[in-house]
Amino acid sequence: MAIEIERKFLVANRDYRQMATGSTRIMQGYLSTELRATIRVRLRGDKACLTVKGANIGSIRDEWEYDIPVADAVDMLDRCATGSVIDKDRFLVPYEGHLWEVDEFHGHYEGLVVAEVELSHEDERIALPPFVGQEVTGNTRYYNSVMASTDHLRVVDGRLV
């Protein structure tokens, strides 16, 4: 088991695109969206994984991740995913000793762009890149699992309402 400690922010501008060292398309769906434990299937390029995440306690949560065959992931997304499948492009942006992941959402959440950074401990101080805006860590509406299971959220001015 690993522990995930991350902070999440809305993105204020598109500077991350010039700073990115790479990007990839991600399709992910949820087999369970319970806040106590979510189960996610993710396709990322020619790789797939199954991830179980425990409930958030602030910015910390338990996480277990397992590689699975791509064909199995496709079947799970088609046959077992609850709600909608999240479609996004992820940009990798190194900045002052941390790797930021910036997700541009497509489909129902077109226009939403969120940046996340993983930390080694909860009180770790980080430098915020110039593209980072309002912090949304702990705001459940920005959890991908909530977005996948909710059809009443929409994007207005880059925020979920």
User: Quick check: is 30 catalytic?
Assistant: yes
What range does the domain containing 95 cover? 2-160
Q: In the prediction, which pLDDT does 142 show? A: 96
Q: Are 94 and 100 in contact (CB under 8 A)?
A: yes
Hey, is 74 helix, strand or coil?
A: helix
pLDDT for 75: 97
Whole-angstrom Cα distance, residue 118 to residue 99? 8
Identified catalytic residue from 16, 30, 142, 143:
30
pTM for this predicted structure: 0.94
Close Cβ partners of 80 (under 8 Å, ≥ 6 residues apart) = 29, 31, 41
Average pLDDT over residues 13-29: 98
Domain CATH number, residue 132: 2.40.320.10
Radius of gyration of the chain, Cα coordinates, nearest whole angstrom: 15
How many structural domains comprise the chain? 1
Tens of pLDDT, residue by residue over 67-124, are: 999 999 999 999 999 999 999 999 999 999 999 999 999 999 999 999 999 999 999 9
Answer for the pair 1, 53: CB distance below 8 angstroms, yes or no.
no
pLDDT digits (tens, 9 = 90+) for 116-149: 999 999 999 999 999 999 999 999 999 999 999 9
